[in-house]
Structure 1
Amino acid sequence: MSRIIAGAAGGTTLAGVPGSLTRPTTDRVKEALFSRLDAFEVISDARVLDLYAGSGSLGVESASRGAANVDLVEFAAKASEVCQRNADLINTVLRRKVVSVHRSKVESFLERAGEGTRWDLVFLDPPYPLEEDALAAVLAKLLPHLAEGAVVVVERSARTPEPSWPEGLERFADKKYGETRLWFAEPGVPAEETAGDAGE
């Protein structure tokens, strides 16, 4: 059973996805993750995207901690229904619609996103069987939609290799928690800007 750890809805119990359809982030890992994100000061007023959302617990936690708006993207029907229940719960507590649910494949959602759509904080917790090439393709589709200073968090099995980051997205930290490893990345400085700075 998962819960919201801190913020306006701290302590609230969240609905979980029945069976083994998803692999929920444990409260221990979630607490460590959000402690680090708090240190990065990226949650308050952030536009958050939770891809492969499962129950939506990461996105909902962000909303409780002050994110401006949160998009949960989940394709599986049962998981999407649970996302909606948890979104309704946090929106009721906050007395405004902060969290929206999108039943969609991640790739399709990113392809449909408007050219000016940008997110400040993005979670990707794909199924462990997802091939590394498929994850790399999703990261490439995500890149144009990252705001300046955005943080991307990828959650994978500790036994899988580091994600293949597309050019323009750079890993700056990682942390292992038992069988889980979190990878943190951020948009890099475009090469032309770096060259321009060097010439000044």
Structure 2
Amino acid sequence: MRIVSGQFKGRRITAPKKLPVRPTTDMAKEALFNILNNQYYLDDISVLDLFAGTGNISYEFASRGTENILSVDQDHGCIKFINETAASFEMDIQTIKSDVFKFLERSKQQHTIIFADPPYDFSVEDFTKIPDLIFANNLLETDGLLIVEHSKYTDLSGISNYSHSKSYGGNTFSFFENTTSDEEE
């Protein structure tokens, strides 16, 4: 995998083979960041990377100027790899080793973009828990975006706050929006 754009464009990252991960493809990642670049000033946002794995998405945000990044994964090896890689690139990426669902239940911090890349073999019920917990706990800023990566064979369009999906090869990104304003709360 490589960093697609920004300060570290072209840098290759090689994760240990023993990590339980499936990194987002460079093609899908590039397409996703083209969308995000048109909606946000990436140096001005807060990002939460759930099921962070290798940290692939976190590095891409950091390379593009995002300074407020929190990566969450339950695998010790993944967290160690993210910390080592971020340190070698001098990226300020915070990490938390935790089960994502437990983290979402107790977290109180809001983010502009929340990216979740759970295992593709999750049931629709497990996928549904992600936006349910995020919106129930008000973890997404107004006009924020939740992006869930999943297989093209999984349909998340029936979940609350669903906006749309984009597919790139076998990868699909489903977008969920927080459209409530502060006045409505």
Q: Same fold (TM over 0.5)?
A: yes
| 2:97 counterpart residue number | 103
| 2:142 counterpart residue number | 148
| 1:198 counterpart residue number | none
Distance of aligned partners of 1:42 and 1:157 in 2 relative to their CA distance in 1, 3 Å threshold:
farther
Query: How do 1:128-147 residues align onto structure 2 when only pairs under 5 Å count?
Result: 128-143=120-135, 144-147=138-141
Distance 2:48 2:104 in 1: 10
| 1:48 counterpart residue number | 47
Residues matched between the structures, number: 181
Instruction: Decide which structure has the larger Cα Rg and report it.
Output: 1
2:156 to 162, 165, 169: 162
User: Which letter maps to 2:110?
Assistant: R
| Aligned: 1:188 with 2:182 | no
Identity across the alignment (%)? 30
SS at match of 1:44: helix
Distance of aligned partners of 1:76 and 1:15 in 2 relative to their CA distance in 1, 3 Å threshold:
same
Report the CA distance between 1:153 and its aligned residue.
1.0
User: Which letter maps to 1:37?
Assistant: L
Distance 2:134 2:88 in 1: 28
Report the CA distance between 1:110 and its aligned residue.
1.6
Report the CA distance between 1:89 and its aligned residue.
2.7
SS at match of 1:53: coil
Q: Deviations over 1:32-76 (max 9, x none)?
A: 111111011252221000000110110111011111310011111
Q: Compute the TM-score of the two structures, normalised by the length of structure 2.
A: 0.89
Report the CA distance between 1:80 and its aligned residue.
2.0
Report the CA distance between 1:188 and its aligned residue.
2.6
SS at match of 1:129: coil
Report the CA distance between 1:111 and its aligned residue.
2.0
Q: CA RMSD in A?
A: 1.9
Structure 2: unaligned runs, 5 residues or longer: none
Of 176-185 and 46-55, deviating more is 176-185
